[in-house]
Amino acid sequence: MTVLDSILDGVREDLAVRQAEVPLADLRARAADAPPALDPLPAFRAPGVSIIAEVKRKSPSKGELADIPDPARLAARYAEGGAAAISVLTEKRRFGGSLADLAAVRAAVRVPVLRKDFIVTPYQVWETRAWGADLMLLMVASLDDGPLGELLGLATELGLTTLVEAHTPDELERAARLGAQLIGINARNLKTLEVDRSVFKALAPDIPPGAVRVAESGVAGPEDVAEYHAWGADVVLVGEALVRAGDPEDAVRTFISAAAARG
């Protein structure tokens, strides 16, 4: 069993509990009452590099990363530093996140908010919109083409923007075939947790013209953001390096300026 398989098993177990507690009809009603989702693509397509700054307490590879007693305050500081969007981990077992974190961040910032989780069912898509997210993550590695297309279609119907994540040429081809407009290349292999930033450099040229290119994982400092941008990234998603930064607001600014300086 791969690391990803193990994570997905836990996700499905926790999902079953939530489904028993909150009927789909309740989620649909809550989603209908939610403000319209914000569109992140104009900011992501603007000149320079955009940063998606992540609220991330821990990870399967590194364990505990940071004590985050107030995710809303952290997100607000990211936004003040110029983050184009905020990512919130909502998976509980391996990442220490929750839907409560998502709701708190959504209430605290005016920029788009991404729900980062292992989404494998329509219930989770409704859940994402009901709790106020504007974007959600879909990982090609965790879904066959049929369910992947179904979830992408439902997200679009609900006004959500979907970050479709790939790690291999085959996964990228599948994302492109479905018409994904926001494509992430994850430098981390979620089956082994190994990180290789050159994966983005290798795959970025094959991202379809017009799609926004997102580099994920492997950022230790400003120079890594600058290099990803030089390799073609429109957006860089950063988690660990920001939650461990002493001044997250300044760290976001530094990442953006480093990419601008490199040109």
- C-alpha span between 174 and 156 (Å, rounded): 18
- Cα distances from 23 to residues 126, 142, 203, 227, in angstroms, run 11, 25, 40, 46
Q: Which of 56, 87, 171, 201 is catalytic?
A: 56
Q: Is the pLDDT of residue 61 over 90?
A: no
Which three-class secondary structure state does DSSP give residue 13?
Answer: helix
- C-alpha–C-alpha distance, residues 86 and 68, integer Å: 15
Enclosing H/E stretch for 170: helix 169-177
Active site residue 217: yes
Residue 116 annotated to the active site: yes
Give the pLDDT confidence of 216-251 residue by residue, as tens digits: 999 999 999 999 999 999 999 998 889 888 899 999
pLDDT at 212: 98
Query: Model confidence over 98-107: pLDDT tens digits?
Result: 999 999 999 9
Q: pLDDT band at 261, cuts 50/70/90?
A: confident
User: Does 54 qualify as catalytic in the annotation?
Assistant: yes
List the single range of 128-132, 215-219, 258-262 with lowest mean pLDDT.
Answer: 258-262
Residues 65-87: what's their mean pLDDT? 94
Residue tagged active-site, from 127, 216, 227, 249: 216
Q: Would the pLDDT of 80 be above 90?
A: yes
Q: Is residue 13 flagged as an active site residue?
A: no
Residue tagged 């079953």 (tokens): 16
Residue whose entry in the numeric block shows the structure tokens 């926001």? 182
Residue 100: in which H helix or E strand, if any? helix 99-108
165: annotated active-site residue = yes
